């Protein structure tokens, strides 16, 4: 967009001259854009940079000199080790629980949302429109209104049906399915609308079942938006604090990283060095997944969000 | 794409395993659950509880909440009540919280430890709470700085004494290397310093221990204007001589940090700050000055139990819970845990150890000399202190309320409570 | 497009989603609404739970702090939506231009999304309180900022802006992605044609990019509206609701957004049923506003 400018008549020498000025102007314009983008990029990353440099410090030097580089970068690893071996944090097992919960929740959200969205797009009935509206409208429900009733309800299920959801993985995963579904169905719905129906029609004419058609033909086409759904839900679930607190409770067998890390802070004091290191440790896996899936995510958004 | 499909299939297959896993209870061993609110002693309490549990054949589970990125005990109890999982022993800070949970708090008047303490929690003549420790707060001073400035802490027994001392130290800030006279915080997230601690000077300074006359008047909406205006002078003095950055936007780290680094002569905090002051590398001698907040003599500091352990009246293991608390008071291991490991000032006469840190020792001396005022702020609800009074202090600190307006706003808050 | 029947198979495929939705959202939501008409407290109640009718709703509208946080949330939402979308759109234009490293930039702008809200608030608190007053670049431009009374978090309006800044920093990268997607999908021929007609970048933006991305705006405005209105984490950790301000002749929290007000009503003021009533009001308002927003945007899409 930035490399096109003038709008004069183009004839003879004048045209050549014009082309030259147009090119130089475009070039300076582009350099300007590059500088602006680079500056914005630095501004955006500055707070993350602060997390990084302060993870490499000892307790009080964080608040005393927040802007200096750490004297000894190896302190990051010492801090990481402190967190890793702390018997109350149990980083290893918290990491395992967080991973299990995130992977299974995201997997389940992808499956149930994709197939639900597909049904809702393809059957243009009033009931489909209503269900879609309902799923999307749920995004406007404030979490505060459902949080304690949810705990009570899960308790009732456990007491009367013996279906234990509190303090268990299934309860945690089911909760994330419920809360993560709205946005995911919304995204899938937009994406699927852009896929031509002919493909599926051909499969059905060939005698494939509806379910078969979805999983063999449609689901593979959803890869880009699936990457988007995966990363958005993954980030949220990985960092979430309040929902695990309600469903898993504190100090029970299953602990996620955010629950465990909350123990770091004293009643009044924030142990910045360790908190920041813990954030860094928690961020690394998400960043890795994001970098790997980055192209897919953008592709997914390209097709998904605007239909 | 095939890989993604394969992954999904693996996930589905593995679901069975996840659903099989859960939070099973240890078979046959009784389980005692404790909910407490001091993250700084979490590790020590867990270690002690584990050893005690081993000896008594009990699985003790300690849950700690209350860090700065965390919920508090009341929220945890509310969630626990909805989930049908209440702890067997839990802490509560005072009257307002007792009233919220009184249905599930056991009467422990008959317990042996009651004889050993004078700061247990009582309500209608019955004992309901085991004092976790004794804590004291007031104005801690840096003895090196006061000596260099020629200020005798013993002179700080009334408003005039403080005013003179603050003015003198303020005039010598440069030579003493100070940035401010007193380290005080009044931002909204530090309302616990203003609307909990400082507020208590209005409620109990200069009164006999346990005297509720001022509290009862205020609860009834009768405001003693003379006392309120003396108190307003005191708050104004603290705010005027505080570092404004710390006062308006500082957090606990900033407030304690300024004192620990020798940039402030006084610190408006309690003995719990000792650990943090030490962590910042401070080595200067320090103690609590008399809390001369009023025009009349107020030679004492505020000391009480910061919280009490309650036993859940619905618990299946009440006897074990009672034994756990008694053992803290009557065994050497219990004493060592409270004083040496957790660094607390014990609330029981049977404990002969004393804590090593200077501010805790100072509190113990004040308590021993009987010059203490009670903590009466818990007669007012959390929300009254945080949401009604907190903003008033904050506006006074930032200058959006004048002293006259501050007095008026406080008066109105009590009258319309 | 041809229709598909809404048959058993359709229900079967919808079943898992409906199951989770009913179990986790619908049932607790209905319980929550019912509780708002009672004196429920999720604490032991000796006399049991009593129905109190509309009392909780009436009390709510009498509370200045609720009315105030309604106003402040509206202001916050408007500002936040505006800034996030403007910033995100500009970023999207930048990273879809011919500059180098645009893929790296896209990743970089998205990164703040990876940090949880509570922590993010603490990081920004640290920046506003400690970094800003000491950064030579800023203090030379605005010397007054060194006066603690002018600290960003010490004054109500600037503290509210601080939440906007932190919230935008977190969310703009995500919204940018949606705009990037929309811009990339504009057919290249349109730009070629525009170039031949001699349209400059500004003209192209107005006549091609904005109309062609109108559908994206429906989505981004909806997402930012919901996100802003529900803001809680950053509010709690960055300002804690402070500093105080005077409203209806009372000192109250100056930057307490609705979600925080509801939470505080539940746990600090010990009024769980009333907090449910507030949440119901919150839900109704947000549902109505977002319906209007989506309708208005859809209309716009057609006109453009």
pLDDT value of residue C188: 80
Tell me if residue A112 falls in helix, strand or coil: helix
Structure tokens at B384: 């009254």
pLDDT digits (tens, 9 = 90+) for C37-70: 999 988 888 888 899 999 999 999 999 999 999 9
Q: Where are the domains of chain C?
A: 64-303
pTM value is 0.88
Structure tokens at A239: 């960092």
- CB-count exposure of residue B398 (10 Å: 0-12, 13-18, 19+): buried
Q: Test C181 with A302 for CB contact under 8 angstroms.
A: yes
pLDDT value of residue C189: 83
User: What are residue B93's phi and psi, to 5 degrees?
Assistant: -80, -30
Contacts of C96 in chain A (CB under 8 A): 1
- pLDDT interval class at C115 (50, 70, 90): confident
Is the backbone peptide bond immediately before C243 cis, with ω within 30 degrees of 0? Answer: yes
Q: What whole-number distance in Å separates Cα of residue C245 and Cα of residue B401?
A: 10
Structure tokens at B165: 């001392």
Please check whether residue C28 is in contact with residue B82, taking contact to mean a CB–CB distance below 8 angstroms: no
pLDDT value of residue A300: 63
Which chain B residue is nearest to residue C235, measuring alpha carbons?
B189
Residue B124: other Cβ atoms inside 10 A:
7
Q: What whole-number distance in Å separates Cα of residue B128 and Cα of residue B124?
A: 10
**Intra-chain end-to-end CA distance of chain C, in Å:** 24
pLDDT value of residue A7: 42
Contacts of A264 in chain B (CB under 8 A): 39, 67
β partners of residue C38: C51
Cα A303–Cα B1–Cα B5 angle in degrees, nearest 5? 115
- pLDDT interval class at B17 (50, 70, 90): very low
Which chain B residue is nearest to residue C269, measuring alpha carbons?
B383
Structure tokens at B298: 């107020």
**C-alpha R_g of chain A:** 26
- pLDDT interval class at A54 (50, 70, 90): confident
pLDDT digits (tens, 9 = 90+) for B348-378: 999 999 888 999 999 999 999 999 999 999 9
**DSSP state at residue B312:** B
pLDDT value of residue A264: 65
Q: What whole-number distance in Å separates Cα of residue A126 and Cα of residue A117?
A: 15
Please check whether residue C134 is in contact with residue C148, taking contact to mean a CB–CB distance below 8 angstroms: no
**DSSP state at residue A254:** -
Note whether C243 contacts B: Cβ–Cβ < 8 A.
Answer: yes
What is the least distance, in Å, from the CA of C90 to any CA of chain A? 10
- pLDDT interval class at B255 (50, 70, 90): very high
- B193 has pLDDT over 80: yes
pLDDT value of residue A6: 41
- B106 has pLDDT over 70: yes
Contacts of B399 in chain C (CB under 8 A): 149
Superfamily for C64-303? Answer: MetI-like (1.10.3720.10)
In chain B, the percentage of residues whose pLDDT exceeds 90 is: 78
**DSSP state at residue B295:** S
**Intra-chain end-to-end CA distance of chain B, in Å:** 65
* Phi-psi group of B287: left, alpha or beta (phi > 0 → left; psi -120 to 50 → alpha; rest → beta): beta
Q: Test B1 with A220 for CB contact under 8 angstroms.
A: yes
Q: What whole-number distance in Å separates Cα of residue A159 and Cα of residue C138?
A: 60
User: What are residue B221's phi and psi, to 5 degrees?
Assistant: 85, 10
- A160 has pLDDT over 70: yes
Please check whether residue A182 is in contact with residue A114, taking contact to mean a CB–CB distance below 8 angstroms: no
- pLDDT interval class at A63 (50, 70, 90): low
- pLDDT interval class at B22 (50, 70, 90): very low
- A4 has pLDDT over 70: no
Which chain C residue is nearest to residue B76, measuring alpha carbons?
C267
Average pLDDT (A210-220) is 89
Structure tokens at C280: 């119901």
Mean pLDDT of chain A: 82
- pLDDT interval class at A1 (50, 70, 90): very low
In chain B, the percentage of residues whose pLDDT exceeds 70 is: 93
**C-alpha R_g of chain B:** 24
Number of CB pairs, chain A paired with chain B, less than 8 A apart:
134
- pLDDT interval class at A207 (50, 70, 90): confident
Q: Test C148 with B381 for CB contact under 8 angstroms.
A: no
Contacts of B401 in chain C (CB under 8 A): 246, 251
Note whether A157 contacts B: Cβ–Cβ < 8 A.
Answer: no
Q: Test B11 with A220 for CB contact under 8 angstroms.
A: no
Tell me if residue B128 falls in helix, strand or coil: strand
Average pLDDT (C225-251) is 91
pLDDT digits (tens, 9 = 90+) for B368-405: 999 999 999 999 988 899 889 999 999 999 999 999 99
Distances (CA, A) of B311 to A253, B49, B121, B324: 23, 16, 12, 10
Q: Are strands B126-131 and B121-123 parallel, antiparallel or unpaired?
A: antiparallel
What is the least distance, in Å, from the CA of A85 to any CA of chain C? 22
Q: Of A225-229, B15-19, B337-341, which has the strongest mean pLDDT?
A: B337-341
Structure tokens at B320: 């074990």
pLDDT value of residue A3: 40
Find the range with the poorest average confidence among A139-143, A278-282, B38-42, B236-240. A278-282
- C3 has pLDDT over 80: no
Residue B213: other Cβ atoms inside 10 A:
12
pLDDT value of residue B12: 52
């Amino acid at each position: 967009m930035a490399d096109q400018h003038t709008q004069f008549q183009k004839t003879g020498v004048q045209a050549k001259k014009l082309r030259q000025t147009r090119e130089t102007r475009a070039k300076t314009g582009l350099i300007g854009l590059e500088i602006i983008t680079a500056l914005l990029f630095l501004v955006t990353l500055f707070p993350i940079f602060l997390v990084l440099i302060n993870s490499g410090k000892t307790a009080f030097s964080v608040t005393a000199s927040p802007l200096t580089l750490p004297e000894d970068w190896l302190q990051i690893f010492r801090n990481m080790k402190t967190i890793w071996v702390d018997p109350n944090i149990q980083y290893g097992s918290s990491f395992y629980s967080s991973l299990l919960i995130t992977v299974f929740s995201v997997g389940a959200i992808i499956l149930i949302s994709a197939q639900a969205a597909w049904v809702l797009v393809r059957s243009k009935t009033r009931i489909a429109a209503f269900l879609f509206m309902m799923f999307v409208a749920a995004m406007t429900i404030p979490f505060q209104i459902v949080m304690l009733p949810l705990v009570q309800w899960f308790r009732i299920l456990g007491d009367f049906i013996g279906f234990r959801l509190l303090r268990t993985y299934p309860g945690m995963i089911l909760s994330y399915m419920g809360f993560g579904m709205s946005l995911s169905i919304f995204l899938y719905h937009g994406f699927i609308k852009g896929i031509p129906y002919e493909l599926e029609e051909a499969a059905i004419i060939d005698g494939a079942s509806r379910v078969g058609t979805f999983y063999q033909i449609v689901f593979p086409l959803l890869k880009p938006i699936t990457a988007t759904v995966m990363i958005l839900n993954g980030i949220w679930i990985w960092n979430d604090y309040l929902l695990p607190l309600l469903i898993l409770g504190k100090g029970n067998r299953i602990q996620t990283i955010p629950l465990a890390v909350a123990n770091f802070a004293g009643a009044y004091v924030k142990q910045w060095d360790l908190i920041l290191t813990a954030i860094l440790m928690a961020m690394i896996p998400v960043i890795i997944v994001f970098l790997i899936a980055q192209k897919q995510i953008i592709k997914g958004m390209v097709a998904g969000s605007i239909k | 794409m095939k890989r993604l499909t394969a992954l999904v299939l693996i996930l589905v297959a593995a679901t069975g395993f996840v659903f099989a896993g859960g939070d099973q209870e240890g078979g046959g061993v009784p389980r005692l659950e404790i909910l407490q609110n001091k993250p700084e002693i979490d590790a020590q309490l867990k270690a002690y509880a584990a050893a005690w549990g081993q000896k008594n054949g009990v699985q003790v589970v300690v849950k700690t909440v209350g860090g700065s990125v965390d919920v508090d005990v009341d929220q945890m109890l509310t969630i626990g009540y909805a989930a049908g999982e209440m702890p067997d022993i839990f802490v509560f800070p005072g009257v307002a919280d007792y009233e919220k949970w009184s249905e599930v708090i056991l009467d422990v008047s008959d317990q042996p430890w009651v004889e050993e303490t004078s700061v247990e929690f009582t309500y209608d003549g019955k004992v309901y709470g085991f004092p976790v420790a004794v804590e004291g707060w007031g104005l801690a001073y840096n003895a090196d700085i006061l000596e260099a400035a020629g200020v005798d802490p013993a002179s700080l027994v009334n408003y005039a004494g403080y005013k003179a001392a603050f003015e003198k130290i303020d005039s010598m800030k440069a030579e003493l290397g100070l940035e401010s006279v007193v380290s005080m915080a009044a931002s909204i997230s530090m309302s616990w310093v203003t609307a909990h601690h400082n507020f208590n000077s209005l409620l109990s300074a200069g009164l006999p221990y346990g005297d509720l006359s001022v509290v009862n008047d205020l609860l009834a909406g009768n405001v003693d204007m003379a006392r309120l205006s003396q108190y307003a002078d005191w708050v104004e003095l603290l705010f005027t001589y505080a570092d404004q950055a710390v006062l308006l936007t500082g957090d606990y780290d900033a407030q304690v940090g300024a004192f620990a680094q020798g940039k402030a002569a006084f610190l408006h905090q309690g003995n719990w700050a000792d650990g943090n002051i030490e962590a910042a590398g401070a080595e200067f001698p320090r103690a609590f000055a008399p809390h001369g907040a009023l025009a009349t003599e107020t030679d004492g500091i505020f000391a009480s139990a910061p919280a009490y352990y309650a036993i859940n009246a619905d618990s299946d293991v009440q006897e074990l819970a009672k034994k756990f608390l008694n053992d803290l008071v009557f065994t050497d291991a219990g004493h060592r845990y409270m004083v040496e490991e957790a660094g607390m000032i014990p609330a029981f006469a049977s404990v002969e150890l004393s804590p090593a840190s200077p501010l805790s020792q100072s509190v113990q001396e004040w308590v021993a000399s009987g010059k203490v005022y009670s903590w009466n702020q818990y007669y007012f609800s959390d929300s009254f202190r945080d949401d009604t009074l907190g903003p008033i202090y904050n506006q006074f600190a930032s200058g959006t309320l004048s002293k006259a307006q501050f007095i008026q706003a406080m008066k109105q808050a009590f009258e319309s409570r | 497009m041809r229709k598909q029947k809404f048959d058993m198979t359709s229900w079967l495929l919808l079943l898992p989603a409906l199951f989770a939705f009913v179990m986790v959202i619908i049932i607790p939501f209905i319980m929550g609404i019912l509780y708002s008409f009672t004196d429920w407290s999720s604490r032991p109640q000796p006399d049991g739970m009593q129905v109190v009718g509309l009392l909780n709703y009436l009390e709510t509208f009498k509370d200045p702090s609720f009315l105030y946080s309604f106003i402040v949330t509206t202001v916050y939402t408007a500002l936040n939506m505006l800034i996030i979308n403007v910033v995100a759109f500009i970023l999207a234009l930048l990273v879809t231009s011919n500059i180098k490293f645009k893929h790296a930039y896209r990743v970089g702008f998205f990164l703040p999304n990876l940090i949880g809200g509570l922590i993010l608030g603490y990081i920004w608190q640290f920046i506003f309180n400690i970094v800003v007053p000491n950064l030579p670049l800023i203090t030379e431009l605005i010397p007054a900022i060194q006066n603690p009374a002018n600290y960003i978090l010490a004054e109500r309006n600037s503290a509210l802006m601080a939440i906007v800044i932190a919230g935008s920093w977190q969310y703009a990268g995500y919204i940018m992605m949606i705009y990037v997607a929309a811009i990339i999908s504009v057919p290249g021929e349109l730009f070629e044609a525009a170039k031949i007609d001699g349209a400059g970048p500004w003209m192209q933006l107005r006549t091609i990019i904005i109309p062609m991305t109108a559908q994206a705006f429906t989505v981004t405005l909806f997402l930012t509206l919901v996100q802003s209105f529900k803001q809680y984490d950053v509010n709690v950790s960055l300002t804690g609701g402070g500093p105080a301000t005077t409203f209806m002749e009372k000192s109250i929290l100056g930057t307490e957004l609705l979600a925080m007000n509801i939470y505080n009503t539940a746990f600090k003021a010990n009024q769980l049923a009333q907090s449910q009533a507030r949440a119901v009001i919150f839900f109704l308002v947000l549902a109505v506003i977002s319906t209007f927003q989506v309708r208005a945007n859809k209309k716009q899409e057609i006109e453009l």
